[in-house]
Structures are given as structure tokens and as C-alpha cells.
């Protein structure tokens, strides 16, 4: 029974009489006994101890005393920085003091618990996870990256999982369900009741990366013809507003969105002003199929805290809140950086070695093809290299300068595309500039490298050839750095994903070909 499922053990213990537990403790061997003891609620320890034999009582009482001493120390840990928290938890886990772990986690915000769980290796993570209270587990899941959240959610008993997600905001629940295996996800959907289930199902029908996938249904609607005083009385009846409510939505009889009534306008208004006079009509409804990236730009440009989502007939479906947009922006930037190295940003940093190896191998394989292409170009010039081995020494310099210069242009254009600053209307201008820059930098570094090569090998020919090759490669690098993202964008491929691998291939091939080709023609 005590095979890691601490939550179930706790539930069973909770139902047992202290005398029964004491008897159970006496029958177990020392290791199991100590593990079981860690799951006993603090309030019942005393009563169980009373039922135990002398020496056993003393040793367990010693542990209990330890735990309480920890408690006094815990707030101190909690106020320390993240490092000491992680170390405290790992230390407690190593000693098997799960009670202390539970107490440490109890004092932390769910976001911090999630961060801590992600920083733990899998075995310890599972142990720590078993000590998170069910009521808080749902919010912790919402803060975890996809892969880890799915794994931890599946460790819970179904009934625990259901009660854990009971109070989750709908958009977070939707995200969670989308990461879970299909069967488990639909069980969660079936476990929700009534109106919540209807909303859940409609939200699940929108694609994840759209306004529909970001929105929440918890809007408060008012009519345009009522007075501010009436609205305030209505709100007082509600007692609490959904979190992150900065505005009420004004709709007409058929549910069409008409404008937004900011709380800040409401509290400063005369009580007899009508909603129509107070509402802002400049907050336009976001169509439900808007790409989430455009939603993020909209929030950023207009400094929105929340925004209404409407269908194609302007009917209000829900609202998007800025906290989800913040998460979205962070995740998107994360993904860009990770994708550039061929990594998955939702993956677990501590996934099993075999799983991670396989994922990364794909990227290595793609780059191997590129490397062999470059090698093949060099292979064409084996005879040249045999006669002049200095070329082999210098050729990586030509390729590497091209790669660096090209990635500068590439990065600039990818960012310009993301910020919509690179558009059909100004590509020509950009092209001229990039070519100009590459010529200037090409001249400068061609001279420097040539001078160094002449000094090193005492051969003016090699200097001349490497100078021309660097100029050519920097020019090609600028053109490729501009063209590759534009072409990928038009093909619907994210330039951040494949751009840099393709670029390096181009600059390697061009660099080797230009340098060795020129040398074989001019120097031999």
C-alpha cells in the first residue's frame, strides 16, 4: 500500500482509529514505520503515541518533536530566496521527512510550488507532489509546463484530480485538459456539471492558439439603459466579482456587444448617469478566431487589462484577461529561443534521458545533413587541398564569418517580421541597407583576415583569395539572411524554427566553395 501513493495512505489513515494506527505502526519494520508516521496528521500524533509501547513511542515522539522544531524554522526558510527553498525541500526529501516538505510547500504560492516541482528531479518531484494538498493541486497544475503538468495530473486518483480542478478558472482547466490524454480529459469534462460543463465544451471547441482558446466565460453583462446606481446595487448583490475584472460588458437584448463599462468609470460616475453615457466604445470586440499572437499585440498596443471576445455577429462570447496574455508573451518568446536550438519549450528539463536524447537527435540529424553537404563541397577540392594545405587551415574562418554576419541579418528580419515592421513596402530599402552593411563589413574584415593570412603563411595569393571569398560570403549571407525568413514566412513555416539551420548551410557551402574554388583557379 505504501508504495508512493501518499495521498491514498493519508486518506486511509484518516478513517482509522488511533489505536488501529498504533497497532499497524508496531507491526511494520522500521523504514516503513517511519514513512507511515510521516503521513499521520499532526493533530492526531499525540493520541496515537498514547497507544504505542515505550521505546517505539520515544523514537516516534523524537521525530514528531523534530517536525515541530522544523515548523518554527520553516517561515525562515520561506522568506529566504529560491535556492534555499529548493535545498530545504531536497534535504527534507532525502531524509524522508515528508511532513516537513508538506509544511514548506503549504507556505508557498502555487506558482512557486510549480517552479519548485519543475526544479526537482522526477523521483523527488513525485514525492513532493504527493504532499501538495488536493485543494491547491489544481492551481499548481495550471502553472506547470505541459509535459510535467500532464504527468503529475495522471498520478492523482481520478477523484482527487476532479476535486483538484473543481475551482480552477475555466481557461486554465481548458489548457490542462488539452495537455492530458484524450480519455482522461473527457472524463474530466464529464465530471463537471451543468453550466460550467456547457461553457467548458464550447471553449474546448476553439483552437488553442486563438482568441477563443484564451478567453474565459466569466463576464458580467449590463444593459446600456440602466443607471450607474442600479449597476452598483446589482454588483453588491453578486458579492464578489470574477478575478481580474476591470470592466463590465455592455450588451443589448440579443447579446450583442456594445461597449465596456470600466469599474473606474463606474465608481467615479454620478449615480443617475446611464451606462450608455459612461461606457467606452473604443474597446472593440475581438473576433473569436483572431490568432493569439495578434491578441497579444493588441493588448500591448492598447494597454488593455481585459477585452471582450465576440462571434461573427458581434455577440459577446467571453473575455480575455491580461494575465493570460502575459503568460502567452512569455511562452512565445520562450518557444522562439528554444526552437532556435531545436528544443521543445513545454518539455520537462528532467525528462528521462532516453526521451530527451531522441528529441534532440532529430535536430542533430538535420544539421548533420547540412554538415555533410559542406563536407561534400570541400571534397570536390581535395586535389587543391593536397597541394596547398594552408587552405584547409583558413577555410573555417571564411565559413564562420559568413555564418555570423548572416545570422545578424536573419535575426533582424525575423524580429522585424514579428513586429510587423518588415513588410512588402520596405523590403527593397532593407535589402539595400543590408547589402551596404555587408559590403562595408566585408571590406573591413576581408582586409584584416587577408593581412593576418599573409603574415601567417607569407603568401600574397592566399591573402587575396581569402579576402575575395569573405566579401562574397558576407554578401551571400546578407541576401540569404533576408530571403530565408521571407520565404519561410510565405510558406507558413516559423522562420525561428528552421531559419538558422538553413542559413548556416548556405554560408558554409558558399564560403567553402568560394574560397576553395577561387584558390584552385587562381593559385594552382
Q: Which of 62, 80, 396, 458 binds a copy of itself (CB under 8 A)?
A: 396
| Nearest distance, CB of residue 133 and a copy of itself, angstroms | 18
- Where are the alpha helices (H) located in 341-459, listed in sequence order? 353-379, 382-387, 390-418, 427-457
* Residues 79-108, interacting with a copy of itself (CB under 8 A): 82-83, 86-87, 90
Q: Quick one: which of 73, 243, 458, 493 contacts a copy of itself (CB under 8 A)?
A: 243
Among 238, 254, 455, 491, binds a copy of itself (CB under 8 A): 238
319 with 249: CB under 8 angstroms? Answer: yes
Q: Select from 1, 30, 195, 267 the one that contacts a copy of itself (CB under 8 A).
A: 267
The H or E element that residue 310 is part of is strand 306-310
Instruction: Tell me the C-alpha distance between 293 and 304, whole Å.
Output: 15
| Residue 291 within binding range of a copy of itself, rule CB under 8 A | no
Pick the binder of a copy of itself from 239, 253, 491, 492 (CB under 8 A): 239
**Which window, 41-49, 55-63, 152-160, 360-368, contacts a copy of itself (CB under 8 A)?**
360-368
CB 165 within 8 A of CB 42: no
Cell of 118: 519543475
Residue 415 lies near a copy of itself (rule: CB under 8 A): yes
Question: Would you count residue 407 as binding a copy of itself (CB under 8 A)?
Answer: yes
Q: Find the part of the chain contacting a copy of itself (CB under 8 A) among 40-48, 182-190, 200-208, 295-303.
A: 295-303
| Span 36-75, contacts to a copy of itself by CB under 8 A | none
Give me the residue label for grid cell 517536525.
67
Mark residue 157 as left, alpha or beta (left: phi above 0; alpha: psi -120 to 50; beta: remaining): beta
Residues numbered 462 to 521 that lie near a copy of itself (CB under 8 A) are 508
d(CA 489, CA 85): 44
Nearest-approach distance from CB 135 to a copy of itself, in angstroms? 17
Instruction: List strands edge to edge, sheet with 306-310.
Output: 286-287, 306-310, 316-321
Among 170, 394, 467, 471, binds a copy of itself (CB under 8 A): 394
Which C-beta is closer to a copy of itself: that of 265 or that of 275? 265
Scan residues 124-153 and list those touching a copy of itself (CB under 8 A).
143
Q: What is the total count of residues that contact a copy of itself (CB under 8 A)?
A: 123
Q: In the bound complex, what is the minimum distance in angstroms from residue 505's beta carbon to a copy of itself?
A: 10
Burial of 332: CB neighbours in 10 Å, binned 0-12, 13-18, 19+? middle
1: helix, strand or coil: coil
Binders in 167-206 for a copy of itself, by CB under 8 A: none
**Which three cell numbers mark 133?**
494538498
Cα distance between residue 100 and residue 89, in whole Å = 8
Is 98 or 430 the residue whose CB approaches a copy of itself more closely? 430
Phi and psi based region of residue 303 (left: phi greater than 0; alpha: psi -120 to 50; beta: remaining): left
Q: Count other Cβ atoms within 10 Å, centred on residue 234.
A: 13
Stretch in the footprint of a copy of itself (CB under 8 A) among 112-120, 188-196, 197-205, 308-316: 112-120
Amino acid at each position: 500500500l505504501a508504495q508512493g501513493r501518499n495521498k491514498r495512505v493519508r486518506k486511509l489513515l484518516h478513517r482509522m482509529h488511533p489505536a488501529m494506527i498504533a497497532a499497524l505502526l508496531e507491526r511494520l519494520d522500521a523504514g516503513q514505520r517511519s514513512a507511515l508516521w510521516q503521513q499521520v496528521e499532526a493533530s492526531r500524533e499525540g493520541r496515537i503515541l498514547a497507544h504505542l509501547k515505550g521505546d517505539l513511542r520515544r523514537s516516534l515522539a523524537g521525530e514528531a518533536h523534530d517536525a515541530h522544531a522544523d515548523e518554527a524554522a520553516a517561515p525562515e526558510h520561506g522568506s529566504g530566496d529560491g535556492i534555499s527553498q529548493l535545498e530545504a525541500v531536497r534535504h527534507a526529501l532525502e531524509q524522508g521527512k515528508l511532513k516537513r516538505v508538506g509544511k514548506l510547500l503549504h507556505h508557498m504560492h502555487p506558482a512557486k510550488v510549480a517552479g519548485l516541482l519543475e526544479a526537482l528531479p522526477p523521483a523527488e518531484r513525485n514525492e513532493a507532489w504527493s504532499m501538495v494538498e488536493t485543494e491547491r493541486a489544481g492551481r499548481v497544475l495550471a502553472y506547470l509546463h505541459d509535459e510535467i503538468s500532464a504527468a503529475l495530473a495522471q498520478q492523482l486518483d481520478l477523484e482527487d484530480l476532479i476535486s483538484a480542478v473543481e475551482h480552477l478558472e475555466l481557461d486554465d482547466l481548458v489548457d490542462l485538459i488539452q495537455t492530458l490524454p484524450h480519455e482522461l480529459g473527457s472524463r474530466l469534462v464529464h465530471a463537471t456539471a451543468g453550466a460550467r460543463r456547457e461553457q467548458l465544451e464550447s471553449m474546448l471547441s476553439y483552437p488553442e492558439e486563438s482568441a477563443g482558446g484564451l478567453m474565459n466565460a466569466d463576464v458580467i453583462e449590463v444593459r446600456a439603459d440602466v443607471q450607474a446606481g442600479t449597476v452598483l446595487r446589482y454588483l453588491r448583490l453578486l458579492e464578489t466579482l470574477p478575478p481580474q475584472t476591470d470592466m463590465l460588458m455592455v450588451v443589448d437584448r440579443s447579446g450583442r456587444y456594445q461597449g465596456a463599462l470600466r469599474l473606474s468609470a463606474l465608481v467615479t460616475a454620478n449615480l443617475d448617469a446611464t451606462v450608455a453615457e459612461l461606457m467606452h466604445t473604443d474597446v472593440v470586440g475581438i473576433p473569436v478566431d483572431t490568432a493569439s499572437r495578434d491578441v497579444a499585440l493588441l493588448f500591448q498596443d492598447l494597454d488593455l487589462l481585459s477585452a471582450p471576445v465576440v462571434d461573427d455577429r458581434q455577440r459577446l462570447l467571453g473575455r480575455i484577461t491580461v494575465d493570460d496574455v502575459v503568460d502567452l508573451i512569455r511562452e512565445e518568446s520562450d518557444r522562439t529561443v528554444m526552437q532556435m536550438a531545436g528544443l521543445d519549450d513545454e518539455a520537462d528539463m528532467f525528462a528521462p534521458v532516453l526521451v530527451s536524447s531522441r528529441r534532440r537527435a532529430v535536430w542533430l540529424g538535420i544539421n548533420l545533413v547540412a554538415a555533410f553537404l559542406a563536407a561534400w563541397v570541400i571534397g570536390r577540392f581535395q586535389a587543391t587541398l593536397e597541394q596547398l594545405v594552408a587552405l584547409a587551415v583558413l577555410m573555417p574562418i571564411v565559413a564562420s564569418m559568413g555564418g555570423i554576419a548572416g545570422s545578424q541579418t536573419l535575426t533582424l528580419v525575423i524580429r522585424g517580421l514579428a513586429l510587423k515592421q518588415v513588410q512588402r513596402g520596405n523590403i527593397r530599402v532593407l535589402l539595400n541597407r543590408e547589402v551596404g552593411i555587408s559590403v562595408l563589413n566585408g571590406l573591413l574584415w576581408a582586409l584584416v583576415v587577408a593581412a593576418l593570412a599573409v603574415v601567417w603563411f607569407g603568401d600574397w595569393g592566399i591573402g587575396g583569395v581569402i579576402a575575395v571569398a569573405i566579401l562574397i560570403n558576407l554578401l551571400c549571407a546578407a541576401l540569404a539572411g533576408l530571403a530565408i525568413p521571407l520565404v519561410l514566412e510565405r510558406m507558413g513555416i516559423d522562420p525561428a524554427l528552421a531559419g538558422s539551420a538553413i542559413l548556416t548551410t548556405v554560408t558554409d557551402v558558399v564560403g567553402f566553395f568560394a574560397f576553395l574554388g577561387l584558390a584552385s583557379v587562381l593559385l594552382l
